[in-house]
């Protein structure tokens, strides 16, 4: 099964891209960013009317003859089919269309990633590594001393930590909330392996994607526990490798690996990196169902739970997750006013109660009334963490925050949550 199918250029199809209108040195441009990383850096397109029309109509179903007809109707100029074909060919050469040419570029990138000895950093890149280490260290120390950073001691059992949820927003906006989760790991866990379930923001052929490549970080490589990964794969029995390349463009595992390397310092540890795709499709099913009613999801959750139970406190599961995404930048028709902030906080708090209760069904059902209208991107990863820990752990929200842009067009919410074994909770209550 292929992740993408080629579409003939007679009915051009724009592939998933981020296209951003900007003004640069007095010129209007369309900046194109490729979430899949097939195109390196940013590409720029002229925002002329014909280019915009082709981009808007390139849906994989509309023939170039029809695009030419609409262009003549809208502009009043003679626009031939050959002119549209020429423009489509230029867009294809730029790698913007879902064509045979793009699939060749895609396969080249996949092959290149497979040959790499380690997974390169996509978040922290600098020719001056020592300066980057210094600046990043200063930034992460700021997190723990910020007003919304953690106190000297967390209200958690000394041991028994089995999992955390941590943000995957950038450190500048979410750093203090990260520091709560990683203080819990550093001070309340003896684990030497961390199974990281990172949120996947890209399309994939399967919901779970592994890699066995060490993760490069400014503080040194983070190695993979290949033995535990093999154990998880055996228990799962499903597909984990077909879309491995997506680890090369997704940041959600990397941000956890960097923070682990920072807080654990010389303490030996390894990770098991797994990307988890969206579960939103299960919200659309009629009659309603839970994600774990899907055979592939159920098999992965059973495998994760088995591995966690087998290794006990030697392993902790980390969900690299964010919550709501609101505002015009995410397609909403209203700005993130204080009233919107309050409403999103209320909905997030309702969801967080199900997370604290380690109730995966209640968590997933909380999105049904609106079909995830506030665009929580990490339903899949959170569902897997809750399903793997259900009945064994209690949850505790450590910190919650929202990051809203100055112009109120872009708001993301996120939290840190700790999950401790019920046995550890009883011990601390007894003492």
Domains of the chain: 18-113 (1.10.10), 119-430 (3.40.830.10)
CB 63 within 8 A of CB 11: yes
pLDDT at 39 (0 to 100): 86
90 close to 97: Cβ distance less than 8 angstroms = no
> Which residues does residue 14 pair with via DSSP β-bridges, in sequence order?
97
Residues of the chain with pLDDT > 70: what percent?
98
Around 409, how many Cα atoms within 13 Å sit in the side-chain half-sphere? 4
Structure tokens at 161: 């930590």
Instruction: Please say if the pLDDT value at position 431 is more than 50.
Output: no
**Does residue 347 carry a pLDDT above 60?**
yes
What's the pLDDT score for residue 2?
60
Please tell me the least confidently modeled range out of 32-46, 181-195, 199-213, 315-329: 32-46
Is pLDDT of 35 > 90? no
Non-local (6+) Cβ contacts of 96 within 8 A are 14, 15, 17, 32, 43, 102
- pLDDT tens-digit map of 379-424: 999 999 999 999 999 999 999 999 999 999 999 999 999 999 988 7
pLDDT band at 429 (very low <50, low <70, confident <90, very high): very low
pLDDT at 15 > cutoff 90: yes
pLDDT score of 89: 96
179: pLDDT strictly greater than 70: yes
| Predicted local distance difference test score (pLDDT) of residue 187 | 96
- pTM for this one? 0.91
Identify the pLDDT of residue 21: 82
- Residue 109: CB partners within 8 Å, gap ≥ 6? 36, 37, 38, 245, 248
Three-state DSSP class for 21? Answer: strand
| pLDDT band of 425, cuts 50, 70, 90 | low
Question: Average pLDDT, stretch 296-302?
Answer: 98
Average pLDDT over residues 44-60: 90
Cβ atoms of 413 and 324 closer than 8 Å:
yes
pLDDT of residue 128: 82
Quote the CA–CA distance of 362 and 414 in Å, as a whole number. 19
pLDDT given at position 191: 97
* 138-162 pLDDT, tens digit each: 999 999 999 999 999 999 999 999 9
Looking at residue 161, what is its pLDDT?
A: 97
* Mean pLDDT for the chain overall: 93
Percent of residues, the chain, with pLDDT higher than 90: 81
């Amino acid at each position: 099964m292929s992740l993408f199918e080629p579409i003939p250029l007679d009915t051009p199809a724009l592939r998933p891209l981020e296209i951003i209108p900007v003004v640069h040195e007095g010129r209007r441009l369309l900046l194109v960013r490729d979430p899949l990383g097939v195109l390196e850096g940013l590409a720029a397109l002229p925002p002329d009317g014909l280019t915009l029309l082709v981009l808007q109509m390139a849906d994989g179903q509309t023939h170039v003859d029809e695009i030419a007809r609409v262009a003549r109707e809208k502009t009043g100029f003679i626009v031939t089919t050959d002119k549209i074909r020429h423009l489509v060919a230029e867009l294809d050469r730029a790698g913007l269309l879902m064509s045979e040419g793009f699939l060749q570029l895609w396969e080249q990138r996949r092959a290149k990633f497979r040959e790499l000895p380690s997974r390169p950093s996509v978040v922290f890149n600098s020719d001056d590594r020592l300066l980057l280490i210094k600046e990043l260290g200063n930034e992460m120390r700021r997190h723990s001393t910020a007003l919304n950073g953690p106190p000297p001691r967390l209200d958690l059992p000394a041991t028994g930590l089995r999992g955390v949820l941590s943000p995957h927003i950038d450190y500048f906006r979410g750093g203090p909330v990260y520091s709560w989760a990683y203080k819990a790991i550093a001070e309340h866990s003896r684990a030497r392996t961390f199974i990281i379930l990172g949120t996947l923001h890209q399309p994939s052929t399967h919901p779970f994607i592994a890699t066995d490549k060490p993760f490069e970080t400014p503080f040194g490589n983070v190695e993979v526990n290949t033995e535990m990964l093999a154990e998880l794969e055996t228990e799962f029995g499903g597909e984990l490798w077909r879309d491995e390349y997506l680890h090369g463009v997704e940041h959600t595992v990397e941000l956890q690996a960097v923070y682990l390397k920072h807080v654990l310092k010389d303490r030996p540890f390894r990770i098991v990196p797994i990307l988890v795709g969206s579960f939103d499709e299960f919200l659309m099913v009629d009659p309603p169902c839970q994600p774990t009613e899907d055979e592939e999801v159920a098999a992965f959750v059973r495998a994760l739970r088995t591995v966690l139970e087998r290794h006990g406190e030697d392993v902790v599961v980390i969900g690299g997750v964010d919550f709501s995404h609101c505002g015009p930048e995410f397609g909403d028709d209203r700005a993130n006013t204080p009233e919107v902030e309050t409403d999103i906080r209320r909905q997030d708090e309702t969801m967080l109660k199900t997370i604290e209760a380690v109730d995966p069904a209640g968590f997933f059902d909380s999105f049904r009334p609106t079909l995830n209208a506030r665009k929580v991107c990490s339903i899949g990863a959170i569902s897997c963490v809750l399903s793997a820990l259900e009945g064994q752990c209690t949850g505790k929200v450590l910190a919650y925050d929202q990051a809203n842009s100055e112009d109120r067009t872009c708001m993301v919410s996120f939290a840190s949550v700790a999950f401790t074994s019920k046995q550890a909770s009883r011990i601390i209550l007894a003492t």
